[in-house]
Structure 1
Amino acid sequence: MTNFLVKTIANAGALGVAIWLVPDITLTGDSTGGKALSLLLVALVFGLVNLLVKPVVKLLSLPLFILTLGLFTLVVNALMLLLTSWLADKLNLDFHVEGFWAAVVGGLIISVVSWALNTLLPDND
């Protein structure tokens, strides 16, 4: 349970950095507390998408991973971010990714920042 919480917080931090750096990734809200709650909920959705959908997509696109020497990971990460944006819209969360290239850049930023945060945050499992 602690590991899940740590990963969700790391995802929220990484999403926050992507929102801050990429103009086409937005999180709107009325107050700072509302934005923080929305960010945590979006991080939870993003974590679930990465847990449930991403392995299936990676397996189905294995030949493209091999052909591109792993660069197809950027496309898969972008698609997971776009799926998260779509799900957030359906759940009435104020998170939106505008376009594929914003998702590619955002996915790259999220990957790097969440890796860094996961190395810094404690892991009790």
Structure 2
Amino acid sequence: MKRHQQRRKDSAPLVALSLFRVGQLSGGLAAQLMPGLVCCLFFVTWALHLQRGLCMSPLTAAAAFVLLALGEPAGARVAMTVPVVLIGVGLGVVGGPLSGMSLAKVPARGRVPPRACSTPPCT
């Protein structure tokens, strides 16, 4: 019998369930679960945006993911060598539009609300 086909003979669980009564372990697992879920949600949303919003084929969208996987380590290496001042400027460049987006729905006197962006459906 091959090793991967062997079955366990005892009925003991692989992980003792009493470990989950420890608050630190449960809290740590929950803390690791949250960023994982956010990351998963981002990539699913990005894949849908590439295919439905930008009308890419699934193969082209997959190629974009491959480019992301190849470019991320290089970008991380460059980011570690950039001076802290440039990082602060970059955060300011990102923070400005974010605050503008968060204040976009706030009514102002005499302000004309912007039209909603409507993209044509993919054909």
**TM-score, structure 1 length as denominator?**
0.30
Structure with max Cα Rg = 2
Whose strand proportion is higher, 1 or 2? 1
> Which structure dedicates a bigger proportion of its chain to helix?
1
Report which structure shows greater RCO (CA 8 Å, sep ≥6). 1
Q: What TM-score does the superposition give when structure 2 sets the normalisation length? A: 0.31
